[in-house]
């Protein structure tokens, strides 16, 4: 890295003029998406192949020209080296304008009185969203905002999307036409998805944390226990769900009261057990790693104060290991939000219901109805827990016995 580039990366230093290499790449991606890829896709009904339309065909001339001008402004800011705040502002502004513009495409493309036609975002739209999101992420990385500021930005983004939803900006899009007749079932399956992810996480913390402490304290157990959990992690999710059907079905048939509390060969029980098993390795391994990283000086000082082993664990070791343990919680929760989608294959419910229904009906908008909220949940969980990890590091770094 040259001295000029090093100065650019330091907060508060003057930025040298010139082209930004990442900005150049993102502008190239955005230009290709805008000029050569369809902005929106029109289909005569929900399952037939669609016909792509450029931004100037999908939108009215005035709106298309305004959007192109706004994206040109974003490109200009992205190309030039400069402070990160303007890059963040124009990236978020461009994203907002882009999300509003795609909501106007159905009214422009759909013939009057046609209730069967479907208009969906095209590949060009998604590539533009990717480029603008990456530009915003790069600006945030350069700004290095504190954890609570990132959480506030996430909440603001969620509030903006909710306002767009409530105002009906996207009502004409095909994914919303799939949502409206399924609004009640969507709320139910979304709740089931969250319960599966959080329930398996809670069980993994309750078991994985003590198991990690035990593996740290007893060296002979560490390798066989973590090795066994690693083997479980390598089993494909669909295979593990299938393997649990027979034993849980036997339990439901032979154990009094098991069926009454929801245990069975199919449904939420095998999904919850499978997610729990997948969660044990990151929880136990991160607990072991966090405890192993506690400085010897902290142990020595605690012993010098006359602390018992239990006191050292709860007052010294676990607080110092908390950031690493929370990293394991983050990995587990994001993983479980994604894996819970597969639970729909065995009747476990969740947002995967819409994904697999859409695949079976060749209705990609129905797939998006399940996939987009899953991605949003995983992203939000990652941001919130990343902030929690950083907040936990502050007291631990300056703590003393």
pLDDT in tens, 235-276: 887 788 777 777 777 776 777 766 766 676 677 788 888 899
Which residues are CB-contacts of 378 (< 8 A; sequence separation ≥ 6)? Answer: 334, 337, 338
- Quote the pLDDT of residue 10: 46
Nearest Cα to Cα of residue 211 among 346, 343, 328, 339:
328
Helix (H/G/I), strand (E/B), else coil: 53: strand
Structure tokens at 78: 């992205």
Tokens 């050569």 sit on residue: 36
CA separation, residue 333 to residues 138, 202, 337 (Å):
25, 10, 6
CA 326/CA 177 separation, integer angstroms: 39
- Quote the pLDDT of residue 15: 47
Nearest Cα to Cα of residue 287 among 352, 212, 220, 200:
212
| CATH number of this structure's domain 182-398 | 1.10.3720.10
- Quote the pLDDT of residue 162: 94
CA 160/CA 158 separation, integer angstroms: 5
Question: Which parts of the chain sit beneath pLDDT 50?
Answer: 1-16, 396-401
Tell me: the pLDDT tens digits for 362-380?
888 899 999 999 999 999 9
- Quote the pLDDT of residue 399: 46
Give Cα 141 to chain centroid, integer Å.
17
User: Do residues 70 and 97 touch, judged by C-beta distance below 8 A?
Assistant: yes
pTM of the model: 0.85
- Quote the pLDDT of residue 314: 87
- Quote the pLDDT of residue 154: 93
Query: If you write DSSP's letter for every residue of 266-317 in order, what string do you get?
Result: SSHHHHHHHHHHHHHHHHHHHHHHHHHTS-HHHHHHHHHTT--HHHHIIIII
Say which DSSP state 17 is in. P
Helix axes 237-254, 268-292, angle to 10 degrees: 120
């Amino acid at each position: 890295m040259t001295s000029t580039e090093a100065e650019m990366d330091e907060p508060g230093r003057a930025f040298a003029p010139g082209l930004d290499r990442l900005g150049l790449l993102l502008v190239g991606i955005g230009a290709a998406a805008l000029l050569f890829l369809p902005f929106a896709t029109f289909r005569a009904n929900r399952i037939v192949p669609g016909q792509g339309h450029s931004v100037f065909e999908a939108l009215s001339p005035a709106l298309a020209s305004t959007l192109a001008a706004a994206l040109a402004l974003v490109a200009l800011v992205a190309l030039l080296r400069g402070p990160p705040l303007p890059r963040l502002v124009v990236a978020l502004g461009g994203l907002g304008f882009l999300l509003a513009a795609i909501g106007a495409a159905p009214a422009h493309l759909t013939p009057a009185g046609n209730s069967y036609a479907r208009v969906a975002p095209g590949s060009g739209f998604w590539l533009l969203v990717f480029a603008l999101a990456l530009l915003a992420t790069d600006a945030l990385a350069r700004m290095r905002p504190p954890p609570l500021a990132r959480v506030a930005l996430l909440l603001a983004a969620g509030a903006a999307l909710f306002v767009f939803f409530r105002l009906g900006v996207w009502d004409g899009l095909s994914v919303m036409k799939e949502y409206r007749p399924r609004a009640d079932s969507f709320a139910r399956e979304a709740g089931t998805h969250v319960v599966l992810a959080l329930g398996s996480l809670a069980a993994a913390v309750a078991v994985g944390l003590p198991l990690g402490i035990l593996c740290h304290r007893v060296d002979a157990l560490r390798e066989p226990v973590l090795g066994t959990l690693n083997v479980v992690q390598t089993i494909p999710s669909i295979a593990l769900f299938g393997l649990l059907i027979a034993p849980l079905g036997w339990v439901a048939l032979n154990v009094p009261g098991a069926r009454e509390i929801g245990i069975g060969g199919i449904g939420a029980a095998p999904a919850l057990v499978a997610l729990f098993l997948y969660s044990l390795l990151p929880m136990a391994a991160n607990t072991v790693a966090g405890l192993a990283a506690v400085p010897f000086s902290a142990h020595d000082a605690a012993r010098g104060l006359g602390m018992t082993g239990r006191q050292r664990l709860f007052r010294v070791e676990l607080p110092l290991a908390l950031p690493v343990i929370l990293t394991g919680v983050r990995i587990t929760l994001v993983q479980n939000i994604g894996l819970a989608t597969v639970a729909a294959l065995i009747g476990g419910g969740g947002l995967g219901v819409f994904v697999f229904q859409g695949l079976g009906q060749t209705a990609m908008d129905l797939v998006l109805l399940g996939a987009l909220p899953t991605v949003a949940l995983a992203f939000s969980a990652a941001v919130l827990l990343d902030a929690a990890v950083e907040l936990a590091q502050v007291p631990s770094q300056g703590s003393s016995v």
